[in-house]
Structures are given as C-alpha cells and as structure tokens.
Structure 1
Amino acid sequence: MFYKKLSHSLAVVLFAALSLCSVSAFADGAFELAGVSTPVGEKNTFFATEGDIALPVTVVHGNKPGPVLLLTAGIHGDEFPSMLALQKLGKELRADTLKGTVVIVHLANLDGFHEHRLALNPRDEKNLNREFPGDKAGTSTEQISEFLTREFIARCDFLVDMHSGSANQKLLNHVYSPFVGDAKLDALTFEFAKATGMQHIVMYGERPRDPQNSISYPNTAMTRGKPGLTTEIGHLGQRDDVFVEQALTVAKNALRFLDMIAGDATPHPEPAIYQKVKYLDSHNDGFFTPLVTIGDVVQPGTVLGEVSDYFGNKVEDITAPDAGIVMMINETPPIRSGESAVAIGIRQ
C-alpha cells in the first residue's frame, strides 16, 4: 500500500510541490476571503457572509510565506470540543511569527448549533457533511456547502475538518485519512494524518472521486487535489476540557507538520491503521443496550449489544462480523431500524 512506502524525503517534496500556490498568493499581499481582506502580518476575525449565510471566521495571515491551512469546526452543530479548541487557537496564533495563512471556520452550522440538533441543519433537515459541493440556488445546507467549496476550499492547500461524537455517540478518538486514487496526494494525506499525533488512523476511500459529487467536506478538498482530514475527538455532546486540549494539540501538530509554527509534529509512537470501519445497524426499533465499550478488542461473533422492544423483551443481538476494535457506540437507549448501533475498526 502507498502509505507503507512513503519516505520522509518524498513527503517533503510533495509538500513543497503542493505549497507553491500559497507562496504565490502570499506574494500578492493581502489574503482575500469572502470579500474580506486581511493584510500581511495581521489577524482578522469576522463573519463571512453571503445571503442568509454567516460563518464566524478567523484569518491569520503570516509575515512569512507558507501554505494555507483551513481548520473547520461545527460542520455538525452539536460537536463542541473542536469549536472551543479553535477559539483558543485563534487567540494564540501570532501573525508576526506565522508562516503562511491559517483560516479558521469556528462554526459552520450555526443554526444546528443554536437549535441543539444532532448533525442536521434545522432549516432544511439536511446533513452539511453530505451535501458537497453544494448548490448556490439550493436549500440552506446546499448553499453553505457551495459557499465553503467556492470561498474556502478553493483558497486552501490543506484542510482539517474537526468533529466529535454527538450526544448519543461514544467515540474512540480517530482520524480519517482519505484516498482518491492519486498516489502522491494519497501519500501526502497519510503523512498529514500521522502528523496529527492521533493513534487510530482510518484509511478511507469510500467517497466518490467526482468533484461534482464529492458529498463530504474533506472529500471535496481531496477531489480538488488538496489533502483533507477528518478528526473525531470527544463524544456524548460534551465540552470536556481534556477533549478540547486534544483537539488543540491536533491543530497545532498540523501547523508544525506544515512548518507554519515552530516545533516538530509528534506522531503517535504506536499508530494503529485501519483498512475500514464497519457500521452495524439495528434491524428493530426499540432500546439498545451496549455490552462493550470503545477501545474493546472483539472477535467474530462477539455480542456487542442487544436490542429490546418497548416492553423490555430482547429482540436482537448485534454481533461482530469480523475481528476489530470498537470505535463507536450508540450510548443512549433509543434505536431505530437501520440506525447504526456500533462501529468497529478493522485492522490491516
């Protein structure tokens, strides 16, 4: 596989090649985003607006040339640790020492955030991470997707889309390293994933390769030749300080990997690489009771949880089809037929 063969020197060459556009953009002076100009060596906080869209954004435009890193939280409005981490990062970064430009989208799904919704935008009941590259004339979610594609992804070189578990989900922290069949891009993306310092890395090639049907936010970057990661840090709709600090560390490791701030990225000493994640669905409506927890190693046939009807009678066991590690649990009782109850990561 490509991710076993990439040397550090090749990673450096690939990084340099993909950063050329940022260096030329730096030479042009101010960084333009959504009609707002940020001069060289300055930090700017503002709402990026268009029509009914208003996204809280921080741009830190460094004094020295370098890549453009896009960090985004709140694609799902109920996933809080990365939002709080990026608030901290935005305050800490200094334009006078930064190489390149950092663009922070603090909260991409503002309506979902204020309506306390699990993943969806209440204006149209759509999942922002399933509507890319979007439609300027479409529904609210489709318009946000198009705006992010046109104004933000188009101006970045690297993307980290930062998530966590919703109020019903218990998650093992992990990072998705997508691949789209471009050997150099896929290899660089894997190096980028390792550099985050996260232990659990999922190789992810299930999204379409068509830029006009990219579906998810990071895949939209990948189909446009730009490494795009998804991180999952924290769970159960919590704002735990430990999760916030972990998300902040990942963001800083991304900056160090790209040589945008001082220091070296710190990859995990024992990375665990997964070839895929299997989501195991309930076949019944009712109550779900987990019998394992995140991080548990399971074997084929292990009973992961059970579903009971509304009277308390067990109607289904959910079992592991393969050996793996538990990466997600539906921790709260409500379950619908077709809804994922457990997810397990399958190692190479």
Structure 2
Amino acid sequence: MGVTTQTGEKASYLAKERSITLPVTVINGKNDGPVLLLTAGIHGDEFPSMYALQQLQQSIDPKEMSGVLVVLHLANLDGFHGNRIALNPKDEKNLNREFPGSAQGTPTEQIAELLTREFISKTDFLVDMHSGSANQTLLNHVYSPFVGDEELDALTFEFAKATGMQHIVMYGDRPRDPNNSISYPNTAMTRGKPGLTTEIGHLAQSDEASIAEALKVATNTMYFLNMLPGKPVEHPEPVIYETIKYPSSTTTGFFRPSKATGDKVKKGQEVGKVVDYFGNHVETIQAPVDGTVMMVNQMPAIKNGQSVMAIGVEQSE
C-alpha cells in the first residue's frame, strides 16, 4: 500500500486506498520467518485486542524478531468512531460477512476486497481478534476452522492450541469456495492459510484482564511460529467443542436469561424466559443440547427467531 518496511525495521502508518484508511504496523524482523497477520477491529466495538496489539507492537524490537508481523490495528474504522455494534455505519453491513468483497461494491465490501488482496494474500498465518459486543457476555474461546484439507486443518488446530486458550471450538460451517468465503479468517483458510478467530472480553469493555489475555494469545502465536524467542504455553486442560448451537425465541418482547456464561446445561433445561411489553410470561426457552454456555445476549429486546445465547457441545471421546 505504498510503504516499504526494510529488514530489521518497524513502521506504523495510516494505509490509504480510495476512501479506506487502515492503521497498520509492519515489523520486518532481522531474520527470515513467516508472515503473521494479527487483526483487531473487524467489529469496531470490540476493544481488548485493539489495546493488546498496541502494546505488542510497541514492545517488539525487529532486530530480535524473525519473519514479518503485520498488525492491522483497526479494520473497521468507521464502525469504531460510529460506536456501532458490529456494523459499518456507511452501509449498515457486517465486515465479517462480506468476504472476499468487491472493489466496486459498498464501503464494507471494498474494505473486504482490500483486506483480501493486500493483507491475506501476503500472509502465512492470520488471527482475527474479537470480543463480545456491548450486548453480549462471553466465555473466552478460540475458533479452529476446518475446510476438509487434512494438512491445513491439522496445522490450524495446532495453531489454535498454541494460543494457550482453554476453550477451542472446531468450526467447519463456513463455505469452502474462496469466491464466497464470507468471513475474514475463512478467506485465509480457503486460500490455504491457517486463520483463527479469538473471542476475549465482553460487553464492549476494556478491562485489563482481557487486554492481558489478548496480549498473551498474540505473543503465544509468535512463539509458535518461532518469530520471537520463547515457547507457547498450551492450556493444561483444553476443552474442545465440536459445534455450537443457538437457542432462539419464537416470540417478541423482553428476554431474561437464567443461565450465565460457563454454566453447564442439559437438553430441555430452561435457559431463559420471554415476557411481553406488559411483563406477562409468554415463553420459556430451553437448551436444545447438552453443553456449556459460551455467550449470552444481555440486551432485553428480543424478536421472533432471534438467538438468545450460544451453547458449545463438547467433542465426544
């Protein structure tokens, strides 16, 4: 994007193309190694990873690093300044649903196309760093996608374990067509590059514990790739999930959850209630499976068909 970062140097700048502006840091290590792309702000209201990546880039000496680290500090700048949950106010679209994008499309589609062309195409490994939005409580977890490529899927799983996160979700629901890749990390996967999604922190908060966890995860990925001296520390008791299910409301009104993130639930167990605008009970929502509550919608407004939480189903032995 018009900026060259020489071997052994670091550059932070606003990368610009047409109406798109992206805050980027490139750290070009002294020694050979892979290219790692760490991205925050695909959703502009998910803050812990933004602060963590600021700290990471400031702490690294390129002369002590191998490979190239590309830090995309904020992929959705308009959403960030617009204080929007997930969306870009220029076109009301979710950037993580518009890949591989279009150079002739809406503003969000243009960002997706630029990220596909100028960032994903040049990287070897990608981590898309998220958190719970203002309407969600969240159990920290990492998605380990699989696309039917045995070698790539195995490497991606090792990459996920190396983050050190305890809760790992195996995720194979995205399209496998690179021309209809939908999400940011899946765009990497459909091009043969491991792409993880981390979820750390919630309620649009910027608490120090979540920032520290995001920083640890980012550093562990660099250890895994031998970009920095050190070894990744895997969680001693990882929990692997084979899928996530989303119980939904069949009515409209106020949702009141009765379960919190981390709770274990049994199929058929109550997880929340819906009352109408007058406070009258209209629905009891039940868990569709046995599992662990991964996310809870904390905003009371609920519509018919809207999911109220995410329940992770642990992998069978």
Which residue is 1:80 aligned to? 47
Of 276, 279, 289 in structure 2, the residue corresponding to residue 309 of structure 1 is 276
TM-score under structure 1 normalisation? 0.90
Of 287, 292, 305 in structure 1, the residue corresponding to residue 259 of structure 2 is 292
Between the two proteins, what is the percent identity of the paired residues? 65
Tell whether the 8 Å contact from 2:245 to 2:289 is kept in structure 1 after alignment: no
Tell me the matched-pair count. 315
Query: Given residue 157 of structure 2, which amino acid in structure 1 is its aligned partner?
Result: F
Which residue is 1:241 aligned to? 208
Of 111, 122, 131 in structure 1, the residue corresponding to residue 98 of structure 2 is 131
TM-score under structure 2 normalisation? 0.98
| RMSD, matched Cα | 0.6
Of 161, 166, 173 in structure 2, the residue corresponding to residue 206 of structure 1 is 173
CA distance in 2, matches of 1:220, 1:299: 35
Instruction: Select between 253-262 and 314-323 the one with higher mean Cα deviation.
Output: 314-323
Of 76, 80, 83 in structure 2, the residue corresponding to residue 116 of structure 1 is 83
CA distance in 1, matches of 2:89, 2:100: 20
Q: Residues 262-318 of structure 1: CA distance to partner in whole angstroms, max 9, x if unpaired?
A: 110001000000001111122222111110100001111110011111111111111
CA distance in 2, matches of 1:47, 1:282: 43
Structure 1: state its 5+ residue gaps.
1-33
CA distance in 2, matches of 1:141, 1:283: 31
Query: Given residue 263 of structure 1, which amino acid in structure 2 is its aligned partner?
Result: G
Matches within 5 A, 1:53-202: 53-202=20-169
Q: Residues 303-348 of structure 1: CA distance to partner in whole angstroms, max 9, x if unpaired?
A: 0011111111111111111110000001121222222201100011
Which residue is 2:236 aligned to? 269
Query: Given residue 290 of structure 2, which amino acid in structure 1 is its aligned partner?
Result: A
CA distance in 2, matches of 1:281, 1:57: 39
Matches within 5 A, 1:13-92: 34-92=1-59
Q: Residues 220-254 of structure 1: CA distance to partner in whole angstroms, max 9, x if unpaired?
A: 00000000000000000101110000000000000
Tell whether the 8 Å contact from 2:142 to 2:167 is kept in structure 1 after alignment: yes
CA distance in 1, matches of 2:275, 2:72: 41
Q: In the alignment, does 2:188 pair up with 1:221?
A: yes
Query: Given residue 277 of structure 1, which amino acid in structure 2 is its aligned partner?
Result: I
CA distance in 2, matches of 1:174, 1:330: 16
Q: In the alignment, does 2:199 pair up with 1:232?
A: yes
Which residue is 1:14 aligned to? none
Query: Given residue 275 of structure 2, which amino acid in structure 1 is its aligned partner?
Result: S
Which residue is 1:347 aligned to? 314
Query: Given residue 102 of structure 1, which amino acid in structure 2 is its aligned partner?
Result: L
